[in-house]
Structure 1
C-alpha cells in the first residue's frame, strides 16, 4: 500500500475523493474494541489504544504493525502522540488515581505519571506549539500540564471540555452559566435550560481573563470540542445525536449535523476535521458507517458499511490522503485511484 504524501496546507479534498475512499488495509488482531487512535506529527506512525489494555504501534509508510505494548495494571484510553513519534500520552482506564501516563514506546518505559484528577479522564489534547497538554475529567476540572517538566501548570475549575487551536496560542474551555451570569454553575439555571459558554484564553498566560466568550444557545450538553486546522471553525460534539459547527471568531452557529451518529444519548464515537478544514467526519454507532459533511454545503457523504461493529474512532492523516477507522478491527482507507496503483 502506498499513498501520495500531501502537505496540510495543500490538501484539497472533494466529494468525489471522499466517495472514492476504499479499505486498503485491515488489521484484525485486537481482542477487544479500539478506544482511541492518533497519528504522529510526521504522519509516519499510527498508535491505537484498546480495551484489552494494549497499545499497538503501526508504520503507515510500510503498512505494517511495529509492536504491541501492555498496561495491564492501569489500562489504556485516549492515546495521543507527543511531538516525538515514539512517545505517547494516555489516560489510565482502571486506576483509582486517574493517572495520565507519559510513555516511551522506544524502550517500553513509562517515564512518569501525571496524577491530580479525581474521576475519569474524558479528553486529552496536546498543544502543537510546545510540550503542554490539557486534560478534562468528570471531576469537573480541566488541567494544563507540562510533560517535559512533569508538572501541572494550572487547574481550571468547572470547565467540562477544552482544546487548543492549531497554532497552540488559544485554549478554548466549555463552562455552564450559573444563575448569576457567571461561567461555572453546577447545574444551570434552577431546572431551566442549561446555558453553556465557550471561553477563549491566551495559552501563553492562563492567569488572564478570557479574551472572548461565546454563549451557546440550543446546543445539547457538550462532550468535547475541536478547532479546524485553519482555525476558523469549532466542532462541538454533544449528546442527543448532534454535532454543532460554530464560527471560531464570533461563536455563530453554522451547521447542526444530526445523522445516525449514535443512539445512546452519550457521545461514544469520535468526530473531527479533515486537514483542509473542508469536511467534518464522524464514526457511527447506529449505522456502523463513517460520515463526512461538507462544511460549506452541509452535504452528507457516507462511506460503505464495512465495520462489523460501532465505528468509535476515526482519524484523517494530516500528511497522507489516508483515513484510519476502528471498531474491533482497524481499517486504513485510501482513494481508489491511488489504491489501484
Structure 2
C-alpha cells in the first residue's frame, strides 16, 4: 500500500489519560508504533496535531499527506498533492480541514477538506517560497511568512489577505498563547519582532536582538533558525536552530535564559532560509516544547530524543545540558508533543509514535 505500513507487533495501546504530569512520565517515553513508507527515499517534512490530539498529519516529500489516528495507533488516510507539492501542513480548528504550503507551480497556500480531498479555498499573494504557517489559537486567523519578504495575515473564511507586513527575511512567526501577540523572526537581521495583534500595522512594541547570543553560542558563521514557538504559559520564547543547540528567551524582555546544548549536533534538515537549490530535505525545526512548558525536546545527529528541563534557573553561562536522552530507532528530524495526552510523534523517513512505558515509571 502506498502509505507504507507499521512495523509488526500489536497496535499501540490507547493513549493514556492526560492527567499524568509530564514530569512523571517524560523519562519513560519509548517508541510504541512505527510507520515506514514503502519508498525508502521518502522523508517527512512537517508534522501537526489537531486540537483534540486524536489525529496527526504529516507532509512528505513524495507530495503526499498522511493522517494518523493517535488514539488507535494506526494510519487513517492518505491525500495526494502531486501537482502542487505539500509542506507545512496544519490542521485548522476543524479537524476535517487543513492548510498547507505549495512546493511546486506557485506559492499559493491551499485550504483542503480531508473528508473528500477537495479544495475549499486558495490563499494567493505570496510571490516566493512560504517558510512558516501559524494558526491563531483562538480563531480562524492564520499568519504566513515567505521569502518574498512579507508576513501575511489571513482568515480561513476569505480568499483575501487581511493584512501584510513588509520585512527583511521574516522567515518564522508564531502567536503567543493568548493570541494577542505575534512574534516574527528574521534570521538575516538577527532579530525577533513582537507585534500587538490588534495593531500589527504599527511598529513592533519590542525587538529582541540575537546577534550577541548567536556569536557566543553558534560562532561567527551562526546557524539557521528553524522554528519559533512560545511556551503555553506565554513566559518563554523558543528559537530552534540548525546548529548545536536552541535558545530559550524570556518572552517579556528577550533575555536569554538557556542555550539548550546538544553535543552531537543537529539532525540535518534544511532551515526555512536555505537557498532554493540547496541539497537536503526540508523540515520545520527539530524541537518542540511540552504542553506544560517545562521541557524542550529535540532531535540531534543521533537516534532518539534529547530532553532539557527549561524550568530550571538560568546558570551563569546560560548553557543547559540535556537531562535525558530517550532511545529511539531513528533520528527525530521532526518532533511534536500531543496537545491533549502524553504521546510523542517523531519522524525522519519513518513516523514513530512514543508513549510512556509503565515498566519504567
Q: TM-score, normalised by structure 2?
A: 0.81
- What is the CA-CA distance between 1:264 and the residue it aligns to? 5.4
Whether the 8 Å contact between 1:261 and 1:283 is mirrored in structure 2 is no
CA shift digits 1:25-66 (9 cap, x unpaired) = 111135311111111001111111111111111121222222
Q: Hey, what's the Cα distance between the residues in 2 that align with 1:5 and 1:43?
A: 12
CA shift digits 1:61-88 (9 cap, x unpaired) = 2222221010000111111100001111
**1:244 pairs with 239, 243, 247, which one?**
247
**2:93 pairs with 83, 93, 100, which one?**
83
Structure with a larger share of its residues in helix: 2
- What is the CA-CA distance between 1:224 and the residue it aligns to? 2.9
Whether the 8 Å contact between 1:272 and 1:282 is mirrored in structure 2 is yes
Whether the 8 Å contact between 1:2 and 1:339 is mirrored in structure 2 is no
**Residue 26 of structure 2 aligns to a residue in which SS?**
helix
**Alignment root-mean-square deviation, CA:** 2.2
Whether the 8 Å contact between 2:267 and 2:286 is mirrored in structure 1 is no
**Residue 204 of structure 1 aligns to a residue in which SS?**
helix
Q: Structure 1: which 5+ runs fail to align?
A: 177-186, 188-194
CA shift digits 1:205-245 (9 cap, x unpaired) = 32233222222232245343110111000001234333111
Matched residue, 2:17: 5
Q: Structure 2: which 5+ runs fail to align?
A: 1-12, 215-221, 272-282, 313-319
**2:200 pairs with 193, 202, 206, which one?**
206
Matched residue, 1:163: 174
Counterparts in 2 of 1:274 and 1:261: CA distance versus 1, 3 Å = farther
Matched residue, 2:143: 134
Matched residue, 1:262: 266
Q: Hey, what's the Cα distance between the residues in 2 that align with 1:329 and 1:170?
A: 35
Counterparts in 2 of 1:77 and 1:263: CA distance versus 1, 3 Å = closer
Q: Hey, what's the Cα distance between the residues in 2 that align with 1:92 and 1:226?
A: 22
1:232 maps onto 2:235 in alignment: yes
Matched residue, 1:33: 43
Q: Hey, what's the Cα distance between the residues in 1 that align with 2:237 and 2:135?
A: 16
**1:306 pairs with 320, 329, 334, which one?**
329
Q: TM-score, normalised by structure 1?
A: 0.86
Aligned length: 315
- What is the CA-CA distance between 1:270 and the residue it aligns to? 2.3
Whether the 8 Å contact between 2:30 and 2:328 is mirrored in structure 1 is no
**Residue 218 of structure 1 aligns to a residue in which SS?**
helix
Matched residue, 2:122: 113
Q: Hey, what's the Cα distance between the residues in 1 that align with 2:47 and 2:265?
A: 18
Whether the 8 Å contact between 1:76 and 1:92 is mirrored in structure 2 is yes
**Residue 148 of structure 1 aligns to a residue in which SS?**
coil
Whether the 8 Å contact between 1:30 and 1:328 is mirrored in structure 2 is no
CA shift digits 1:252-311 (9 cap, x unpaired) = 101112313427595454211000000111122x1132211110343412111411xx42
Alignment of 1:42-191 (within 5 A): 42-95=52-105, 97-158=106-167, 159-175=170-186
